[in-house]
């Protein structure tokens, strides 16, 4: 509608120059038509901007509500991961905490076996965030504190956590390689596994796998940040 008005009044301006009216009358009408065109364009831009803003806010709302669900899922997974690392550290503490010449108990090793051999690592649901960021839309989150918290979580806290868990996994892989190199049937015999874990080399590797507090602390940092973001999103949309 505004475009039609602009076209109509533009044609009228050109028509003025073929008019037989006085110069002052033509100039007066010319100025009036220019004002009308400017007003029409301004109104058009205003409503276009309002429409864009509504669309932008809708997209941001959908992103944040979806992100809230991603974070709630991740918090559940991360609590499971924490328990896994806690038990893993406990298992290796038992292996390395025995007295000199004390034999490892096969029943206890059986109890901890899954935590000795498991691999735990965070796979965050970050696809939604990455897509929103890649589209250059992070700046549309009007709450700057919420925006900064989201950026810090995905670009600092989570990468640091993943780096820590990957390093822990690499140390576990050294133990797996050593156990495989013994060529004992440790998958079938707990006694064979007890014998291998009692060796000095296995002891030294296992000792490096006891400390898990740093990893647990980084999980706690991420979980706390995630809960804060979820709370902020709830406040933002009252849901």
The 10s digit of each residue's pLDDT in 175-231 is 999 988 875 545 555 567 888 888 889 999 999 999 999 999 999 999 999 999 999
3-class SS string, 181-205: HCCCCCCCCHHHHHHHHCCHHHHHH
- Per residue in 38-83, pLDDT (tens digit) is 666 666 666 555 656 676 788 899 999 999 999 999 999 999 999 9
- Which tokens go with 167? 């390093």
Domain ranges of the chain: 70-237
Q: Whole-model pTM above 0.85? A: no
Q: Between 166 and 23, where is the model more confident?
A: 166
pLDDT band at 1; cut points 50, 70, 90: very low
């Amino acid at each position: 509608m505004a475009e039609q008005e602009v076209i109509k009044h533009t044609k009228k301006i050109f028509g003025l120059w073929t008019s037989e009216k006085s110069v002052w009358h033509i100039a007066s009408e010319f100025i009036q038509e220019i004002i009308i065109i400017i007003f029409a364009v301004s109104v058009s831009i205003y409503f276009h901007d309002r429409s864009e803003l509504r669309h932008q806010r809708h997209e941001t709302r959908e992103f944040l509500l979806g992100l809230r669900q991603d974070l709630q899922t991740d918090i559940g997974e991360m609590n499971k991961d924490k328990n896994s690392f806690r038990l893993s550290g406990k298992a290796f503490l038992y292996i390395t905490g025995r007295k000199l010449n004390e034999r490892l108990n096969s029943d206890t090793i059986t109890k901890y076996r899954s935590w000795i051999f498991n691999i735990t690592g965070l796979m965050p649901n970050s696809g939604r965030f990455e897509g929103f960021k890649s589209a250059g839309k992070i700046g549309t989150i009007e709450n700057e504190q919420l925006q900064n918290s989201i950026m810090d979580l995905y670009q600092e806290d989570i990468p640091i956590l993943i780096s820590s868990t990957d390093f822990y996994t690499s140390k576990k892989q050294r133990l797996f390689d050593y156990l495989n190199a013994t060529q004992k049937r440790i998958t079938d015999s707990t006694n064979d596994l007890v014998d291998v874990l009692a060796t000095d080399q296995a002891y030294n590797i296992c000792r490096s796998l006891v400390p898990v507090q740093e990893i647990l602390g980084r999980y706690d940092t991420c979980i706390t940040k995630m809960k804060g973001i979820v709370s902020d999103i709830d406040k933002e949309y009252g849901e």
